[in-house]
Amino acid sequence: MATKLSTNTKQISGLLTGIRNTRWLDREGPLGYLMISPAFLFLAFMLAYPFAISIYLSLTDKRLGADPQFIAWDNFAILFNTSRFWKTVTNSLVYTVGSLLLKFLGGLAVAQLLNREFIGKRLATAILLLPWIIPTVFSTLAWWWMLDPANSIINVMLKRWGLIQNNLPFLTDPAWAMGSLIILNTWRGVPFFAITFLAAIQTVPDELIDASKIDGANEWKRFWSVIFPLIVPVVVIVILISTIGTISDFELPYLLTKGGPRDATMVFGILTFDYSMNVGRVGLGAAVSLTMLPALALLVVLSLVELRRQT
Amino acid sequence: MRVSRLRRILQLLLVPYLPLTLLLLAMLFPFYWMVLTSLKTLGEVFDYVTMPLWVLKPTLSNYTYLFEKIQFGRWYLNSIWITVLTTVFSLVVSVLAGYAIARLKFRGATLIGVLVFITYLVPKTLLFIPVAQVLNNVGMLGNLNALALAYPSFLIPFCTWLLTGYFRTIPIDPEECAMVDGCSRFGAAMRITLPMAVPGILTAAIFAFTLSWNELLYALVFVTGESNKTLPVGLINSLAQRDFFNWGPLMAGATLASIPVAILYFFFMDRFVGGLTAGAVKG
């Protein structure tokens, strides 16, 4: 009865929209374009147009406060012959792959840990999400203080407990600095990965899990053979989108290491900033940021394909 | 019977409580350390002998320092102004766009949906140089209000993306009924569907607020002058880039700056989790 009624109203409303089509704004086409136009115009001016400018600047020798001269591919030629640029490429790769791997594994482990009923689950979830909720800039300041070369509380406590003799060089040694950056990125990202994975795990039908219990599979085997294959679509999307954010990250490295020591944590975002703002070579900076484009475009296309496949 | 109960408790301690406690300690410690340092006197900040993990003589002097020695109050107001302005503006624009993409049939609707997703993924690192150029051309580079123009360029794609998804989950029947009763297409959207979309709009608002409040790169590049700064830039520039690091005031500032988002989180935790699992957020 209810469904019949609703099909009836649909027919009637279809009829009525047909009649009222004379009213311009009631037609979906014009109304659609009208409603989309503020967003479209704004993004055309503040996103698409700047993007075009960026490509133009990368082909000029633009410096801060000077007029640009067209120099074609010279900026890219300069970059590709600079070891600092290749170091940036390697660092960005290490930073991205390292962080993503830890966030993926940590996210799965934490999701599985939370995928059971226990007292205090809501409180635990609330606390778990804090690193991701509290603005990165401010929590990174706390980390910076925690890892400070001379006053790190971690070193203070480890020495107090007699576990180390000398300070650990969290931000002063090249390898340690990259490690610290990856750990910080993981600390901030794991809550997001875990909660997203958990939501996906909870959509896995109970029957499948029960069936595998009857088959005698243990929890480890059950996770990898039953649950994981079913959450792969979510995992893929989360990883793709997070990779885009990590490869182009600016905030964490800027606040924690500024690319140092000796360029050990120099990534695309910092090099772009350094060339354009500190050195004043805006054209070269634009060129650095555009060298990310092939990787970014690939990731965006993969995300699009994956999303379309899923819906 | 008693033995098995003991075993059950031990098992619970092993999974999940033991690993969970360690995990939550690691998640919380930086915040604990931040607040603790903000309550310490200068002497206590650098005292590693007595009790580094506790505060013996709590003081609010680091907090008063922020308002007396540097323009922290001014930066706070700047941040609130920019955040509220850009959040409201982006939401209005995004509600319109999101509704149109989700509900209305017009040529190019799908393409525009795809474009929104692409613009959402474009990182700020790629855009700050040319956007500075654009702001310079319109004579706004250096002003605080340059940010009002810049922030919606990442907030609108984000909110539109999230809201499009939300509008798709709202049934269309009530809207059609309203049109039968004489509402116009736009009127039905505003009067019927918009109220039903409030949870989605709230989620978008909370995330937009947080993204704006947290923004560093644009605020660093586009704004000049001490009294124009937002909280992140003000804190970093005034307290962290001198030879002597003012850790106490810096941590006090970070604590105060985190509070608005913490309050939002306290009241709207479910909205945060909902938006997060809607798959609309960069991790």
Q: Quick one: how far is CA A275 from the chain centroid?
A: 24
Tokens of A185: 């990125």
Phi and psi dihedrals of A30, rounded to 5?
Answer: -55, -40
* Tens digit of each residue's pLDDT (9 = 90 or more) over B183-231: 888 888 888 889 999 989 999 999 999 999 999 999 999 999 989 999 9
| Cis peptide bond N-terminal to B232, omega within 30 | no
pTM for the full predicted model: 0.90
pLDDT at position A1 is 38
Check B126 against A290: CB less than 8 A apart: yes
Q: Which of A73-77, A94-98, B93-97, B166-170 has the lowest mean pLDDT?
A: B166-170
Pairwise CB contact (< 8 Å): B160 & A39: yes
Burial class (CB in 10 A: 0-12, 13-18, 19+), A250: buried
Domain B69-282: homologous superfamily in CATH: MetI-like (1.10.3720.10)
Q: Judge contact between A69 and A61, C-beta under 8 A.
A: yes
* Pairs of residues, one from chain A and one from chain B, whose beta carbons lie less than 8 Å apart: 299
Which pLDDT tens digit goes with each residue over A162-190?
A: 899 889 999 999 999 999 999 999 999 99
Query: Among B23, B116, B123, whose Cβ lies nearest the Cβ of A110?
Result: B23
**pLDDT at position A94, please?**
97
pLDDT of residue B43: 85
Among B37, B240, B265, the residue with its CB nearest the CB of A133 is B265
Spell out the per-residue pLDDT of chain A, length 311, in tens.
344 444 555 555 555 555 554 466 677 888 899 999 999 999 999 999 999 999 999 999 988 888 888 998 999 999 999 999 999 999 999 999 999 999 999 999 999 999 988 888 889 999 999 999 899 999 999 999 999 988 899 999 999 898 998 899 999 999 999 999 999 999 999 999 999 999 899 888 888 888 888 887 788 888 898 899 999 988 998 999 899 999 999 999 999 999 989 999 999 999 999 999 999 999 999 999 999 999 999 999 999 998 888 77
Nearest Cβ partner for B276 among A40, A127, A192: A192
CB contact under 8 A, B130 and A135: no
Q: Which residues of A touch B221 (CB under 8 A)?
A: 273, 277
Residue B200: C-alpha distances to residues B162, B270, B275, B278 (Å): 8, 12, 8, 10
Cβ <8 Å between B152 and A36: no
- Mean pLDDT calculated for residue range B86-100: 96
If one compares A137 and B277, the residue with the highest pLDDT of the two is A137
Contact B279 A299 (CB under 8 A): no
How close does chain A come to B252, measured CA to CA in Å?
Answer: 10
pLDDT digit string, tens, across residues B150-162: 999 999 999 999 9
CA dihedral B130, B71, B148, A131 (to 10 degrees): 80
Query: B186 vs A136: CB contact, 8 Å cut-off?
Result: no
* Gyration radius from chain A CA atoms: 26
Structure tokens at A123: 């409180």
> Please, are residues B199 and B270 in contact by the beta-carbon 8 Å criterion?
no
A25 CB neighbours in chain B (<8 A) are 184-186
Query: Higher model confidence: residue A223 or residue B241?
Result: A223
Q: What is the pLDDT of residue B242?
A: 56
Give mean pLDDT, residues B64-92: 95
Domain boundaries of chain B, sorted by first residue? 2-59, 69-282
Nearest to A16 among B33, B101, B179 (CB): B179
Tell me if B129 and A272 make a contact (CB, 8 A cut-off).
yes
Task: Provide, rounded to the nearest whole percent, the portion of chain B with pLDDT above 90.
Answer: 57
pLDDT band at B279 (very low <50, low <70, confident <90, very high): low
Total count of residues recorded for chain A: 311
B226 and A94 Cβ atoms separated by less than 8 Å: no
Q: Is B235 within 8 Å of A130 when comparing Cβ atoms? A: no
Q: What is the pLDDT of residue B148?
A: 95
Structure confidence at residue A24 (pLDDT): 63
Contact criterion met (CB below 8 Å) for A198 and A114: yes
Check CB contact under 8 Å for A57 and B129: yes
Chain B residue with CA closest to A43: the answer is B153
Instruction: Please list every residue in chain B whose beta carbon sits closer than 8 Å to the beta carbon of residue A59.
Output: none
Residue B262, classified by CB atoms within 10 Å of its CB into exposed (0-12), middle (13-18) or buried (19+), is middle
The C-alpha of A92 sits at a distance from chain B's nearest C-alpha, in angstroms, of: 13
What is the pLDDT, as a whole number, of residue A5?
Answer: 46
How far apart are the C-alpha atoms of B38 and B239, rounded to whole Å?
13
**Chain A environment of B277 (Cβ under 8 Å):** 195-196, 199
pLDDT for B24 equals 94
Chain centroid, CA A16 distance in Å: 47
**Nearest alpha-carbon partner for A136 in A185, A191, A99, A195:** A185
pLDDT tens-digit profile of B131-147?
999 999 999 999 999 99
Chain A residues in contact with B210 (beta carbon < 8 A): 133, 135
- C-beta of residue B158 within 8 angstroms of C-beta of residue B120: yes
Separation of alpha carbons A61 and A63, rounded Å:
6
Partners of B279 on chain A (C-beta within 8 Å) are 196, 234, 237-238
Question: Distance (Å) from the C-alpha of residue B266 to the closest C-alpha of chain A?
Answer: 9
For residue A238, the one-letter residue type is V
* B142, β-bridge pairs: B223
Q: Is A165 exposed, middle or buried (0-12, 13-18, 19+ CB in 10 A)?
A: exposed
Compute CA distances B115 → A40, A53, A194, A278, whole Å.
10, 19, 29, 33
Tens-digit pLDDT profile for residues B3-62: 788 888 888 888 888 999 999 999 999 999 999 999 999 888 888 888 888 988 899 999
What distance in Å separates the CA atoms of residue A269 and residue B151, rounded to the nearest whole number? 18
Chain A residues whose CB is inside 8 A of the B131 CB are 46, 50
- The C-alpha of B180 sits at a distance from chain A's nearest C-alpha, in angstroms, of 5
Locate the chain A residue with the closest alpha carbon to B230.
Answer: A137
Q: Which residue from A186, A189, A190, A185 is spatially nearest to A257, judged by alpha carbons?
A: A185
Q: Which residues of B touch A46 (CB under 8 A)?
A: 131, 134, 149-150, 152-153
